[in-house]
Structure 1
C-alpha cells in the first residue's frame, strides 16, 4: 500500500491514486487530461465498499448436496470457507466434468471488462487457464457491436477497415462539411474505451466537432450543442436512410463512377429503392409515415449531403436492435452513393459517439498482450446466446450461413464479467443459470452474477495489483502501480488460476515459471524488442516503471479504405468481389429471412408489450454496471433507484411527477425506477440506462413473478437475436408501460452482501 500519488489507468481513463489513512483511496485526474471522466468519482467509494467479496464463499445447497442443477442460485445463503477448501472443490469438479463429458462441457465465455490492465485481464487469464487443461466452449464477438462484427466482413472485407482506422477528429475538422449522425453523437460515452485512454481529447471534440451535425435520434441528449435534431420514431433509421438514398438516386446526385469502380450490386439495390423489386418506392413520403419526420426535411438533407464532404456515422446502439445489420449496411450504401468512402473526413463512420477510441489520434500500435494459447475445443456460441446455450443443449440454430448445435454445458466458469448486466430478459437468464451443475465466479463485489454462482472466489481490483495499461488508439502506456493492499482475502485472478493449474497438473504450462511481476517484465521487454525491430526506441522496463508513463511512438499507417480508393486492383477488399458489396451474393445465398442480401426496411418482430418505447442506453454515471456503488452513480439515483426519463406529456397522462417512483412493466417482467422529466426525449419514448445491479424481488402486481427493485432495464428486454446472420444482441429497445408505484417501497438490497455464514 502506498500513500504517495502513483499513476494508474482504467477503462474510463488514466488517473493518479494514493492510499488514505483509513485504508481507502484518493484519486485525482491525469494532470494533462483536458476532459477527465466523471466516472473517476466512483473509484473511491467502490474500493472498500461493503459489497466487496472478502473470502471464498460457496452456496450452501451446492456445498451440502454437491453439484447439480438448482433453482437455489440467487436465493440461498453462502458459506465462507478457506482458500484450500474452495480451490480443491473447484479443481475436483473441473477434472470430473472434463473426464466424464469432455472439455466442451465447460463454458468459459467470460465477457472481459474487468480490468484495464494488459496482464491482469480476467478474460485472458481464464481462457489461458482453460486452454492449458484441455479447452472450453467459447463465446464469439461482443454485445457492443457483435452484429456489425459479422456483417462488415461481408460488405467491406473486415471489421478493422471501419472501426480500427477511423479518421481522427482533427481530420474531420479539417475536411468535413457535414456529419449525418444516425443514433446521434452522444458525448457521455466518450470517456470509455477498452484498456483506457490517457487524454480525453475526443470527448471535447465530439461536444463541438467544428462542423455541421445532423443528428437523427429520438433523444435530444444525443445531439451536440450546435447540432440539428431530427427527432425520429425509435428504430426507424433505416427508413430514413433508404429515403435519403432514393433522393440521391432520383435527383441524380449519386456518384455513378465511384459505384461502378469500387462497389458491386448497386443495380440490385437501386431496383429496390425504386420499388421495382417489391412494389414500394422508398421515397421520402414513404419514410415520413414510418419515421414521423417531414418528407421535405429528408429530401433537403439528402441534397445537403451531396453538396459537400459528408461523414455518414452510425452508432453502435442502432445495431443492438432487431435487424441491426440494416442501419449499418444502409449507412455504407449512403456513403458509397456519395462517392466519398476513402476520402479524409468523408465516407462511413461506425461508432463516433459510441466510444472514446473512435476519433482518437493515437498510434495504431500492437500493445503488450498475454497469450491465451490455443483452444483445442472448436465449439463456440455468439456471445449474446448464453441463455439459449444453457437452456437448450442439443438445439440447432442458424448463424452466418451455418447450422450449429448448442453443446451440453455442465460447468460455467466466469471471471471479469457480469452477464446479469449485459444480457436480456433476466428472468429467463436466471432459469438458464439454474441448469448447469456448477457455476464458479471470480468477483471483486457481490454482483448479481456472484449471487447466482455456486462458488465465488474474491478477486483483487486494479488498485490492488501491478499491471501495464493502454487502450486502443491510446497515446501512452501506463505503469499501473499498486496502491492498496488486497481487500481481506482477495487474490489476483492469475494466482487463483495458478493454484488451480497446480492441482490439475498444468502449473508450468500456465505460469511458465513467472510471477506476476515477472510476467509484466516479460511482456514489456518482448513488446520493446518488437518496437526496436521497427526502428522505435523505448526505455527498459525498470526505467519505464520509474517514469510511470511512456508516450507511444508514432506509427504512420494508411487506412485500408484510403489505399483501396487509390488503387482498388492493387489493394482489393477481402470480399468475394474485392469491392464494397452493396449486394452480397454470399449473404443472400445463406437464405436468412431476417437478413437478405442488401439493406432493406424490415418491421420489428415484437410490437407488443406496451404503448411506450423503452431505450436502454449506456449510463452517463458508470461503465456498464461497474461502479454502481460509487458516488457518481449513487448521486444520480432517485430514492435509491435508477432514474427513468419520460417526456412531461407521457408523465402527466399517468399522474407521474418529477421524483415519483414508478413501475415499468411488460409481458416479460417489471422493475422500479425514479422518474425524471425532460422535453429532450421524444413523446412516447422512455429512457432507462443499463447497469443498475439487478435486484429481483416479489412483484406485488403479479403472483409468483419478480421485479427488479433497483431499475435494471434487462428485466424488460427481450432475449431475441438481431437476426440469424449475426445472432447479435438486440437489447437496446423494448415496448413497455409505466405507472405510479403507490405501494410500500421494497428496499434496494444490492448495496449489502447476501447472507453469509462461516463454515
Structure 2
C-alpha cells in the first residue's frame, strides 16, 4: 500500500484531519486555515457519516467550493458546485482481489467511457499536472499502478506481472509452498509472535488496549440503535436502486413495542437530540430488548424528515483504536409517528 499511498511525498508538518470530523471542521471558525474546498469521490458522506445534519450544514456553506465525482446523482453530489462523471468499472482497466478468498483477477474495459467520464486515476493525473506535482507517480499509467499495487516478484503470481494477468480466469494466490491459504496452517498471522494474540503488545503500546474490555456507555435515552449492513446495499451504494426505495424498516423487540403501543408495520419516529427519522416498525424477537436495528446506507428520500439513521449518530464519540466513528453507540427513543406533529 505504501507504493500507492506514498506517505514519503507528504511534507513534514502537513496538517491531517480525521474524516469523521469533516462536518465539525467545516463549521469550525477557529480552524486555521479553514477548509475552503472539498473533492468528494468514491464516497457519499451525507449518507454514511455520523451526525448527518452537521455534515449537511457544513457542505451548505456559501463560501465552500465542493466538487464531486460519481456514477449516479447521490445525496452528496446534490451539495456539489461541480459534478464530474465517474467511469464505472465497465470502463477502465483494474485488478481485483476478493473478500475472504485468495483470488486475484484483472479486468479490461468492456465498453468505451461514457460521455466525458474518467476513472479516478486519470482524474488525479490531470489534477496533479494542474497543481504542478512532478513526481513520476503522478503520471504513472494504470498498468504501472497495478504493478506497484502487487509485488510482481511474489511467487504466488506464478510469473505474471499484475498488469498482464490472464483475463480468462482468476489467479489463485496460494501460500509460498503452493499449498492453499489456511490461516495458522500454511500462513501465519502478521503479529510479532506469528500467532493469534489474545493480548497485543502493539495495541497496548499505541492505544492502551492490548486486551479488549467492556466499557459501559451511558446515555439518558433508553434504547440503543445499531445500524449494520443491508442486503439491499453496500454501505450507501445502490441506495438509488428501486429495491431501496420507500421507507426503511426498524426492528424492535415485542416488549419495547408493547410498552410504546407500537404495532407491526406502523410508521414510527426514532429520535434523539441530533435528529429524527421516520421508519416502519417490524416487531421481532430477533433483536434483544432495549435494542433497535435499522440498516445503514439509506438515502434521504426514504424518510419524511429528510434524514436517515446517520443523523442520530454522535460524530464526537470515537472508537478506542484509530479514532473511528462509534456507529453502534447510538442512543434513541421511539414513538408512534404522528404526521400532523412537527418533526
Q: Smaller-chain TM-score range?
A: 0.7 to 0.9
Q: What is the distance in 1 between the residues matched to 2:140 and 2:207?
A: 47
List gaps (5 residues or longer) in structure 2: 177-185
Q: Which has the larger radius of gyration?
A: 1
Which residue does the alignment assign to 1:670?
276
Give the 3 Å change call, closer, same or farther, for CA 562–738 of structure 1 in structure 2.
same
Residue deviations 1:355-404 (CA, integer Å, cap 9, x gap): xxxxxxxxxxx8x9645462226211233222232222546xxxxxxxxx
What is the CA distance between 1:696 and its match in structure 2? 9.3
Q: What is the distance in 2 between the residues matched to 1:647 and 1:481?
A: 48
Which residue does the alignment assign to 1:720?
316
Contact 2:125 2:139 in 1 (8 A): no
Give the 3 Å change call, closer, same or farther, for CA 410–714 of structure 1 in structure 2.
same
Which residue does the alignment assign to 1:681?
287
Q: What is the distance in 2 between the residues matched to 1:583 and 1:483?
A: 45
Which structure carries more helix by proportion? Answer: 1
- Which of 233, 239, 246 matches 1:628? 239
- Which of 1, 6, 10 matches 1:375? 10
- Which of 13, 20, 23 matches 1:387? 23
Which residue does the alignment assign to 1:654?
260
Give the 3 Å change call, closer, same or farther, for CA 647–598 of structure 1 in structure 2.
closer
Which residue does the alignment assign to 1:413?
39
What is the CA distance between 1:484 and its match in structure 2? 3.8
TM-score for both structures, normalised by structure 1: 0.38
Q: What is the distance in 1 between the residues matched to 2:112 and 2:64?
A: 34
Over aligned residue pairs, what C-alpha RMSD do you find? 3.9
Which residue does the alignment assign to 1:250?
none
Q: What is the distance in 1 between the residues matched to 2:261 and 2:255?
A: 10
1:618 aligns with 2:229: yes
Which residue does the alignment assign to 2:153?
530
Which residue does the alignment assign to 2:65?
438
Q: Which has the higher contact order (CA 8 A, sep 6+)?
A: 1
List gaps (5 residues or longer) in structure 1: 1-365, 396-405, 567-572, 574-578, 589-594, 700-706, 745-759
What is the CA distance between 1:522 and its match in structure 2? 6.3
Contact 1:466 1:482 in 2 (8 A): yes
Which residue does the alignment assign to 1:459?
86
Q: What is the distance in 2 between the residues matched to 1:586 and 1:563?
A: 17
Residue deviations 1:130-153 (CA, integer Å, cap 9, x gap): xxxxxxxxxxxxxxxxxxxxxxxx
What is the CA distance between 1:720 and its match in structure 2? 2.1
SS in 2 for 1:427: helix
Which residue does the alignment assign to 1:552?
173
Contact 2:319 2:325 in 1 (8 A): no
Residue correspondence of structure 1 range 2-21 to structure 2 within 5 A: none
Q: What is the distance in 1 between the residues matched to 2:35 and 2:257?
A: 45
What is the CA distance between 1:437 and its match in structure 2? 2.5
Which residue does the alignment assign to 1:329?
none
TM-score for both structures, normalised by structure 2: 0.78
Which residue does the alignment assign to 1:491?
118
